[in-house]
Amino acid sequence: MANKNLTSAKKAKNDEFYTQFGDIQKEIEAYLEYNPDVFRNKVVYCNCDDPYESNFFRYFVLNFNKLGLKQLITTSYKPSPVANTQLGLFGDDKSLAKSKGRPKVTANKFIINEAHDMDGDGEFDLKDVAKQLKANKQNKWTPLEGDGDFRSDECIDILKQSDIVITNPPFSLFRPYVKQLFDYNKQFVIIGSMNAITCKEIFPLIRANRLWLGATGNGSDMVFAVPNGSEIADRDRQKAA
Ligand SMILES: C[S@@+](CC[C@H](N)C(=O)[O-])C[C@H]1O[C@@H](n2cnc3c(N)ncnc32)[C@H](O)[C@@H]1O
């Protein structure tokens, strides 16, 4: 994966750029400072997130107990070019078996109900998550029936069961994405381009105090990861570096 900034990610006319762990951590921790129990007993749904590449999944599963989550659900999108290819999440660890039994290309649903030390090393980490998912008991992995489109019936069913939606959605679908969150009356934390503020669908929500800008500095450029082979302008590459 290489880095590039948000502007060029938009220009690339695709929706494939991935949020860094530290950016998610900074934003979420700003809410915790305000209210440490803001996520307690909540079902968090990341609906544009391949658990194998998403730092949203990684952040929320690793902080599951600290945040007091009731459940974490993530679903991925089958047409994503990194679907089932980025195995870094569990694959970096040589002691783990390769993702056995994982179908070649599917959209996936991961449900995390509990997070605890499984291998007795005294810590809870991603190895434990992998073990729990493999056991497929309290925590479950299943392929979705459809392609994982956030507007599909099966994803909407999950949306209805969730309390807070948290992700970086595809920019090309930002407006219908936000509309759906309001249609289902969901709380959410999502990443969007600053340009979205001026959209006729978005600005009235801000004006009506129904949508707020996040804690992450509005003037700050975020750096994202992109799939290998993506075109990156030199200027953006330097900025990201
Ligand atoms: C900007 S990327 C962010 C990925 C991840 N959420 C992150 O922050 O690292 C948007 C993701 O949404 C996926 N996507 C595109 N269209 C989608 C759709 N209709 N429904 C669900 N996911 C979609 C893309 O494949 C991509 O992985």
Confidence of residue 174 (pLDDT cuts 50, 70, 90): very high
User: What is the model's pLDDT at position 105?
Assistant: 73
User: What is the model's pLDDT at position 81?
Assistant: 65
Would you say residue 236 has pLDDT above 80?
A: no
Is 198 a domain residue? Answer: no
- pLDDT higher at 70 or 10: 70
User: What is the model's pLDDT at position 83?
Assistant: 61
Would you say residue 98 has pLDDT above 70?
A: no
Is 209 a domain residue? Answer: no
- pLDDT higher at 191 or 82: 191
Q: What is the mean pLDDT of the segment spanning 226-235?
A: 78
Would you say residue 232 has pLDDT above 50?
A: yes
- pLDDT higher at 191 or 5: 191
> If you measure from the C-alpha of residue 143 to the centroid of ligand 1, how many angstroms do you get, rounded to a whole number?
17
Question: Residue with the nearest Cα to atom 15 of ligand 1?
Answer: 170
- pLDDT higher at 116 or 152: 152
Q: What does each C-alpha distance from 136 to 105, 123, 149 come to in angstroms? A: 20, 20, 24
Would you say residue 119 has pLDDT above 70?
A: yes
> If you measure from the C-alpha of residue 119 to the centroid of ligand 1, how many angstroms do you get, rounded to a whole number?
32
Is 233 a domain residue? Answer: no
> If you measure from the C-alpha of residue 77 to the centroid of ligand 1, how many angstroms do you get, rounded to a whole number?
7
pLDDT (tens digit, 9 = 90+) per residue, 11-54?
A: 444 677 889 999 999 999 999 999 999 999 999 999 999 888 89
Q: What is the mean pLDDT of the segment spanning 207-228?
A: 83
Beta carbon of 148 within 6 Å of any ligand 1 atom: yes
Beta carbon of 49 within 6 Å of any ligand 1 atom: yes
Is 33 a domain residue? Answer: yes
Q: Which amino acid is at 185?
A: N
Q: What is the pLDDT of the chain when averaged over all its residues?
A: 84
Beta carbon of 23 within 6 Å of any ligand 1 atom: no
Range of the domain at 185: 20-193
Is 216 a domain residue? Answer: no
Torsion over CA: 138, 143, 148, 151 (sign):
negative
Is 148 a domain residue? Answer: yes
Q: What does each C-alpha distance from 119 to 46, 72, 140 come to in angstroms? A: 27, 21, 18
| Bridge-based pairing state of the strands 43-46 and 71-75 | parallel
Would you say residue 219 has pLDDT above 80?
A: no
Question: Residue with the nearest Cα to atom 26 of ligand 1?
Answer: 16
Is 238 a domain residue? Answer: no
- How many domains, in total, are found in the chain? 1
User: What is the model's pLDDT at position 170?
Assistant: 94
Query: Ligand 1, closest atom to CA 53?
Result: 9
Question: Residue with the nearest Cα to atom 22 of ligand 1?
Answer: 48
Would you say residue 154 has pLDDT above 80?
A: yes
Would you say residue 101 has pLDDT above 50?
A: no
Is 15 a domain residue? Answer: no
Would you say residue 103 has pLDDT above 60?
A: no
pLDDT (tens digit, 9 = 90+) per residue, 43-81?
A: 999 999 988 889 999 999 999 999 999 999 999 998 776
